[in-house]
Every structure is written in structure tokens, then in C-alpha cells.
Copies of this chain bind each other. A is one copy, B any other.
């Protein structure tokens, strides 16, 4: 494992590519290897034990690629499995929760912070813990928004239905007068516009993917493991369901075409 090694990223499906995209934008010389567990997606509705089991399996496959740092791009897997992986692995392991929490604390002036995510992510309490660790006086209000995932997946991101769903989900948080809202699921940035309309311009929206890419750079820099400038580094993709459909759909998330998609047996 050297500075030439790849950054490994895994997610329950295709949406973690939004994190890969931010990493590529910020660190264009880095090799990456991405694993999307598209056959067993989603993780957000599953029990902690099952999520930890699947996260360990994903980590094992990425480790076989000799990676120098691992990013758990899935909020649910970050919530349940990050500490397990950090203890068990010898390379640094970063989730998306601590980076999102850090940006939320920076952006909030009142210390009243909202967090939305899948049922699993919210139930884990990890965002609340991460925010309180950074700012013990912060008041954190949470709300699971399970219907946002299928809405985003269906591309149903404008019009009456997503607006009413968002109003229904966000009502309680708005009554708590939050001034920052963490979009604690890789899917939610696709609904950023409708969420922004419902919460209004005085609530800062926090996208964990951007925050995570910044931390990846800091950690690699701190360890002296940033890649020397390389032109066109290699990017590989591993998926547990159909590689062709991943290649087709992934393009939209990554903002560029992707190839080298291999199937892994889960």
C-alpha cells in the first residue's frame, strides 16, 4: 500500500457514485475502486446486524484491491458499521456522517440543526452523536424520510407529490426553527430544490458527499499518501447486480461515462 494505491469506496448501490464524483473533482489524480452492492440494496431498512455483515463483505472485496483508504459512502452503513471497520482494518476508514456533522456545525448559527435520513440512519443516532461531539450545546432534531429514496429513484423530484411528501416530513423540523439541515442520505441531494423550497432560504442544506471529499483529502495529505499528479488515473467499478445497467445509470451520478464494471458474487 503506497501513495499510488487506489481509494476504495463502497455503497449499498449506485448512489455512492455521488461521493466518488466529489472525490474525482477534488482529487483528479487519484485512482478509485468503487463497490456498489446493487443486488442487496437498500441497506436503510435492514437490521444493524445485517448491515454490519454486508459492510464487512464489501470491505473484504475492496481490501483485495490493495486500497490505501476506505470511504463508506452509504449513510446507513456509516451509521452501523463504521466503528467496527475502523477497529478491524489497518487502513483509515471514513464515513459520510462525521464530515456532514462538521459542516452542519459550521453552517448553523443558532445551534438548532435538523437531520433527515433513512429509518436506519436516524434510528442509529450517529448524526446526533457526531454533532454533539463537535458542539455539545447543539440541539439536534431528526426525522426519517423513507419515501424520499423511491421518489429520487423514480426521478419524481418536482411537482405536487414530492412537495407534499417534503412538507409532511419536514413540518416538525421547521416548527423547531432549525437553521441547518443535513441531507443524511446519498439520494436526498436530488430533491434539494423541493426541500429548499419547503424549508426556505434561511435553512442551510448540508450535502455530506462534498464534505466527505474534503476530509478524504485532509486524511491522505496528513498521512503523506496523496497520489503524485497522474494523468488519467484508473477507475474501477464492482457491482453485485447487472453491470450493464450500472454502467448506464451510473453515468448520470458520476457526470461522466464509466467502464471497467465487473460483477461480484454476493
Contacts and interface: CB of A to CB of B under 8 A. Distances in A.
Interface in A239-257: 240-242, 245
A200 B51 CA distance: 43
B146 A245 contact: no
A41 to B, nearest CB: 8
A242 to B, nearest CB: 4
A90 interface: no
A46 B39 contact: yes
A154 B150 contact: no
A45 B165 CA distance: 22
Interface stretch (A63-71, A102-110, A129-137, A156-164): A156-164
Nearest to A150: B150
A50 B241 CA distance: 6
Interface string A14-46: 000000000000000000000000111100011
8 contacts: A45-B153, A47-B241, A47-B242, A146-B150, A147-B147, A147-B154, A161-B161, A161-B168
